Amino acid sequence: MTTSANDALRARIEEIGIIPSIRVRSAEDAGFAAETVARAGIPIVEVTMTVPNCQEIIADLSRRMPDLIVGAGTIFDMKTAHACIKAGAQFVTSPGLDAKIVEFARSEGVVAIPGALTPTEVTGAWQAGADFIKIFPCAQVGGPAYINALRGPFPEVRFVAAGGVNQQTAAEFIAAGAAAIGVGAELIPNKAVQHRDAHWITELARRFLSNVQDARKR
């Protein structure tokens, strides 16, 4: 991927504004979740490393759904990062910061979204070249007010608010300055996946999209 293509992908992720995190039990569950949120208007998913055969799932989704932005989540080491990117991951995320993973992802033309919490960690992630910085767990340390506080000293940083984000707070995080939100079970409930209830997930996606769009209009 060229630098311009990487910039375009980063802009597209920010435009969508929601990064659904898939934490399910099987490849079939992951496929259903990804296809459902994409059809509902959120063409991006993060497949976490807690999902069995996650790298095969990333490869399958990337092949079958070329318009879907497929990423890898919960990356803790270089070996896993390399395997996921080889499988087709277009972005990688981590709960914390490993500068080597950020630098490697960037060298491969992949969007890097490391996790951070304190101003010191945000500084380290920014200096490492992160495309976005995921503030995790966000809701537990002040929620939207914390994002707003970080925006002061870090006006150039694209923050992703993750951890405890729900329908009630999604708009508040965007209004506080988050470039995007990371959402898991609040958007893709386990029961909805188990019962193949596409309508449930679609309705939740519609609400999250509406909240994000409304907050940006304000």
Give the residue numbers annotated as catalytic, written as ranges: 46, 134
- DSSP letter at 66? T
Residues 6+ apart with CB under 8 A from 30: 22, 24, 47, 51, 54, 57, 61
Q: Assign residue 109 a region: left if phi > 0, alpha if psi is -120 to 50, beta otherwise?
A: left
Q: Which of 160, 171, 191, 194 is nearest to 28 (CA)?
A: 194
Q: Which residue has the tokens 């729900």?
A: 166
Q: How far apart are CA 128 and CA 130, in angstroms?
A: 6
Q: Which of 125, 32, 19, 33 is nearest to 72 (CA)?
A: 19
Neighbour tally for 102: CB within 10 Å: 25
